[in-house]
């Protein structure tokens, strides 16, 4: 007989109440972790999209700011264009090092992402591009010729090396690394291929020589803010968005979501602590006489308190482990659906990012159950053996 | 030897109401004797037993066990003293329902200074055999009759080789036949091990098992009989 066995037998000896605490902690930690993963995943993918975007300033048609942000993040077409000659004018703006246009063309019914959503079709300029091909890894020269296409990591291409886009057969020349952003679902074609598609009449809404956005890289010695001001002064009909200001609506949405979820989780945890405390009060009340017997047989007050708190911690730890494992698994399996339903890109965290979250979740679950059990346990611990044994 | 000197125990019932369960009792329980305490319900006999065991603090007076004032010790020292020197058999079912018979008997070793060693399980098995329950070693209390449960309680009480065995109405829930079996077991333990037994009962029919008896009423000892030489 030892303390570990006594604790285990006590847990199994009251299966209903132990299971109630286990399930409660499991649900709570699972929900908390899943929520944290979704919010953090969305936040990380926005940061990643920003860091890998490579552009210091994005120039868009006046009035199309929100739609272009959406296009950058989720790949949705904007339906708003500006003349391509803007590119040449932007190159002349002092402080601009590189410019590269993009054209958000359409959503493809015949090419879909792994979530089943139509894949956006985006034209880019391979000669000036500095935002798409960095995601290609070693094959940076791919996708530069008419008849070629580059696809995001989640675009379904089960039919083989060829891709049929708007009825045209394209050679799938490369696949981007996962980004967690709209790029993952996108089909990229060079401008030359977009022109060929337009000539077939399959892109009726896109004007000739139009671009949706121009990505600008600022030269050393200039700041994005200065360049943005100069663009506003020198080029009419466009809006320059500095990179740090991109995705502001998504960030605000994320911040609001995080605050709301944090408040909801805090309230839920508080309620759960009260509930676990009540269940543990029932456990202690049911075992009151048993505790008195243990004291009579020679158990110290510290032993009784310790064994009850270890019991609480063990249930909390087990419930936390199960909840964290379930939360992680469900989030992993449903990551595509989560991204679609929340309307934000979602990048599942790496093991290194996940480990501290799991450790914190376990610690929180165990601590919360110990705190909840503490009050009834301390109350029974103060009684002398005779008082504890009395009904 | 247990010595209670001018011991009283008063319970607060609230609203300035009190009840004196034990009133100025002086009692010496000598080594090796089998003391039977009788009395009606509410006479204070169980409280006297709890006082002798150091389970409840007297309102006044002193309780000494082998010359040590029990209430001059710290709570931990008192717990260790109980674990080392006193075995208990309670009136109510006191086996832990989640433990097997063997585990229940082994329970006191969890609190003993030396804990469990290689011979502990063998000793527990011997004690279980002594009370006639060898075939029930792996059974749970719910699978035992009331008499069998009380036998396990007695085996558990003897596990740490106590000097004193305190029994509070150990046969109150048993039928007459089982009561006789359990009382015979107490007598056998007393005779074979020379252990001091202090037993509370409301049944005067059981007095003859002891070597001495006292009768209590209104918290006081009202009669005493030496049965060893009767």
A159-166: average pLDDT = 76
Residue A373, pLDDT > 80, answer: yes
Nearest Cβ partner for A298 among B57, B83, B99: B83
Contact B108 A298 (CB under 8 A): yes
- Residue A307 Cα distances to A7, A270, A301, A311, A381, angstroms: 6, 24, 10, 6, 11
Map out the domains of chain B as residue ranges: 2-226
CATH class of the region B2-226: alpha beta
Say which residues have a Cβ less than 8 Å from residue B73's Cβ, sequence separation at least 6. B81
Give B-chain residues touching A10 at CB under 8 angstroms: 98
Say which residues have a Cβ less than 8 Å from residue A297's Cβ, sequence separation at least 6. B82, B83, B88, B107, B108, B111, B156
Nearest to B166 by CA among B76, B63, B55, B59: B55
Contact A384 B53 (CB under 8 A): no
* pLDDT, greater one: B24 or A166: B24
Percent of chain A residues past pLDDT 90, beyond the cut:
11
Give A-chain residues touching B156 at CB under 8 angstroms: 297
A29-52: average pLDDT = 76
Q: Taking a C-beta distance cutoff of 8 angstroms, is the pair B207, B213 a contact?
A: yes
Give B-chain residues touching A296 at CB under 8 angstroms: 53, 55, 82, 88, 90
Alpha-carbon distance of A138 to B141, in angstroms, equals 71
B113–chain A nearest CA distance, Å: 10
B211–chain A nearest CA distance, Å: 26
Percent of chain A residues past pLDDT 70, beyond the cut:
85
A323-330: average pLDDT = 91
Give B-chain residues touching A300 at CB under 8 angstroms: 75-76, 79-80, 111
φ/ψ bin of A286: left (φ > 0), alpha (ψ from -120 to 50), beta (otherwise): alpha
Which residue in chain A is spatially nearest to B160 when comparing CA positions? Answer: A297
- Residue A59 Cα distances to A51, A69, B216, angstroms: 17, 11, 101
Please report the DSSP string for A195-249 in residue order. HHHHHTTS-TTSPTTEESEEEEEEPTT--HHHHHHHHHHHSTTEEEEEGGGTTHH
Note the pLDDT of residue A383. Answer: 84
* pLDDT, greater one: A107 or A188: A188
Give pLDDT tens digits for B115-145. 666 688 899 999 999 888 999 999 999 999 9
N residues, chain B: 230
A301–chain B nearest CA distance, Å: 7
Helix (H) or strand (E) holding B216: strand B212-217
Note the pLDDT of residue A71. Answer: 66
A325-342: average pLDDT = 80
Any B CB within 8 A of A178 CB:
no
Give pLDDT tens digits for A209-235. 888 889 888 888 888 888 889 998 888
Which residue in chain A is spatially nearest to B157 when comparing CA positions? Answer: A297
Give pLDDT tens digits for A41-73. 777 766 666 655 667 888 888 877 777 666 666
Helix (H) or strand (E) holding B63: strand B60-65
A145-162: average pLDDT = 79
B171–chain A nearest CA distance, Å: 18
Any B CB within 8 A of A1 CB:
yes
All residue ranges of chain B with pLDDT < 70 are: 113-118, 229-230
Contact A389 B57 (CB under 8 A): no
A350–chain B nearest CA distance, Å: 43
Note the pLDDT of residue B45. Answer: 93
Interface of A with B in 186-245 (CB under 8 A): none
Nearest to A366 by CA among A325, A318, A306, A328: A318
A27-42: average pLDDT = 84
Nearest to A100 by CA among A57, A38, A37: A57
Note the pLDDT of residue A72. Answer: 66
A307–chain B nearest CA distance, Å: 12
Alpha-carbon distance of A33 to A328, in angstroms, equals 7
Tokens read off for B114: 């030396």
Q: Please, what is the average pLDDT of chain A?
A: 82
Contact B76 A6 (CB under 8 A): no
- According to DSSP, the β-strands at B164-168 and B60-65 are unpaired
A61-88: average pLDDT = 75
**Which residues are bridge partners to B220 per DSSP?**
B217
CB pairs under 8 A between A and B: 81
């Amino acid at each position: 007989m030892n303390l570990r066995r006594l604790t285990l037998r006590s847990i199994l000896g009251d299966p209903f109440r132990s299971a109630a605490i286990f399930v409660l902690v499991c649900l709570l930690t699972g929900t908390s972790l899943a929520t944290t993963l979704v919010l953090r995943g969305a936040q990380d993918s926005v940061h990643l999209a920003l860091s890998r975007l490579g552009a210091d300033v994005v120039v868009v048609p006046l009035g199309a700011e929100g739609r272009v942000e959406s296009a950058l993040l989720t790949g949705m077409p904007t339906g708003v264009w500006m003349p391509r000659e803007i590119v040449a004018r932007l190159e002349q703006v002092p402080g601009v090092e590189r410019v590269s246009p993009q054209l958000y063309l359409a959503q493809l019914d015949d090419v879909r992402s792994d979530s089943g959503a139509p894949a956006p079709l985006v034209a880019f300029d391979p000669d000036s591009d500095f935002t798409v091909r960095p995601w290609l890894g070693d094959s940076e020269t791919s996708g530069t010729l008419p008849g070629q296409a580059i696809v995001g990591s989640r675009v379904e291409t089960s039919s083989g090396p060829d891709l049929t886009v708007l009825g045209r057969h394209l050679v799938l020349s490369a696949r981007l690394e996962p980004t967690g952003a709209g790029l993952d679902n996108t089909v990229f074609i060079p401008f030359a291929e977009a022109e060929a598609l337009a000539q077939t009449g399959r892109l009726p809404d896109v004007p000739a020589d139009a671009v949706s956005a121009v990505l600008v890289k600022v030269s050393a010695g200039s700041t994005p803010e200065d360049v943005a001001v100069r663009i506003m002064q020198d080029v009419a009909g466009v809006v320059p968005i500095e990179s740090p200001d991109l995705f502001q609506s998504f960030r605000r949405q994320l911040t609001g979501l995080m605050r709301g979820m944090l408040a909801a989780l805090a309230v839920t945890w508080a309620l759960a602590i009260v509930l676990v405390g009540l269940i543990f009060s029932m456990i202690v009340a049911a075992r009151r006489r048993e505790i008195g017997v243990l004291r009579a047989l020679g158990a110290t007050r510290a032993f009784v308190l310790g064994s009850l708190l270890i019991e609480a911690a063990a249930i909390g730890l087990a419930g936390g482990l199960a909840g964290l494992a379930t939360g992680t698994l469900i989030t992993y399996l449903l990551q595509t659906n989560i991204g679609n339903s929340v309307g934000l890109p979602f990048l599942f965290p790496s093991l290194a990012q996940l480990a501290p979250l799991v450790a914190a979740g376990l610690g929180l679950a165990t601590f919360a159950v110990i705190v909840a059990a503490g009050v009834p346990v301390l109350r029974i611990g103060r009684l002398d053996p005779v008082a504890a044994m009395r009904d | 030897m247990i010595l209670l000197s001018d011991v009283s125990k008063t319970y607060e019932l609230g609203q300035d109401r009190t009840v004196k369960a034990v009133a100025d009792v002086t009692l010496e329980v000598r080594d090796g004797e089998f003391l039977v305490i009788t009395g009606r319900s509410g006479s204070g006999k169980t409280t006297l037993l709890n006082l002798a065991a150091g389970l409840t603090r007297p309102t006044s007076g002193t309780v000494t066990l082998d010359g040590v004032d029990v209430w001059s010790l710290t709570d931990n020292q008192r717990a260790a003293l109980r674990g080392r020197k006193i075995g208990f058999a309670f009136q109510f079912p006191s086996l832990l329902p989640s433990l097997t018979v063997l585990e229940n008997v082994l329970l006191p070793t969890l609190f003993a200074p030396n804990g469990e060693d290689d011979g502990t399980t063998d000793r527990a098995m011997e004690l279980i055999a002594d009370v006639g329950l060898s075939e029930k070693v792996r059974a749970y209390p719910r699978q035992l009759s009331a008499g069998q449960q009380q036998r396990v309680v007695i085996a558990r009480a003897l596990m740490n080789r106590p000097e004193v065995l305190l029994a509070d109405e150990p046969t109150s829930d048993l039928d007459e036949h089982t009561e006789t079996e359990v009382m015979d077991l107490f007598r056998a333990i007393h005779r074979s091990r020379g252990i001091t037994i202090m037993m509370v009962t409301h049944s005067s029919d059981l007095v003859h098992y002891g070597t001495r008896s006292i009768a209590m009423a209104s918290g006081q000892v009202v009669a005493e009989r030496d049965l060893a030489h009767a």
